[in-house]
């Protein structure tokens, strides 16, 4: 049984503040450009509707805190606010931001999480 409690916006704000201390100038500029007031967004994890906290948005992609994996991930977001892909990266914020910084490219995107068979 999973006794994990979803991360709150307050929890994620503390994680963001801590992770920003390790960002370089380009990463800080990217976060300043794309940051949003953190909000809770629905996501489907392995067939279950749950929630994550979104901290940045670039077009129709978001960076969100994945509390099941303790890391930041990037996913498309639907027009209804649903985070469309569940990822299992355990990235610090700076590594997620690299995907949105020209020349740094994607950071090892292999595909969204899928249940084990």
DSSP for 21-70, written as a single string:
TT--HHHHHHHHHHEEEEEEEEEEETTEEEEEEEEEEETTEEEEEETTTT
Over the stretch 8-23, which tens digit does the pLDDT of each residue have? 999 999 999 999 999 9
Over the stretch 70-88, which tens digit does the pLDDT of each residue have? 899 999 999 999 999 888 8
List of domains in the chain: 9-98 (2.30.30)
Tell me the residue length of the chain.
Answer: 117
- Please give the DSSP secondary-structure letter assigned to residue 73: E
* Full-model pTM: 0.85
For residue 96, the tally of other CB atoms under 10 A from its CB is: 25
pLDDT of 106 > 70? The answer is no
């Amino acid at each position: 049984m999973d006794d994990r409690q979803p991360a709150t916006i307050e929890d994620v704000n503390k994680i963001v503040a801590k992770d920003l201390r390790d960002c370089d100038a380009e990463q800080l500029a990217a976060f300043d450009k794309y940051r949003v007031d953190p909000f809770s967004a629905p996501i489907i994890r392995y067939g279950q509707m749950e929630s994550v906290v979104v901290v940045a948005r670039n077009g129709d992609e978001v960076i969100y805190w994945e509390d099941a994996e303790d890391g930041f991930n990037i996913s498309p977001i639907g027009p209804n606010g649903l985070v469309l892909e569940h990822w299992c990266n355990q990235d610090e914020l700076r590594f997620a931001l690299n995907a949105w910084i020209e020349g740094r490219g994607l950071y090892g995107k292999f595909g969204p999480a899928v249940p084990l068979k």
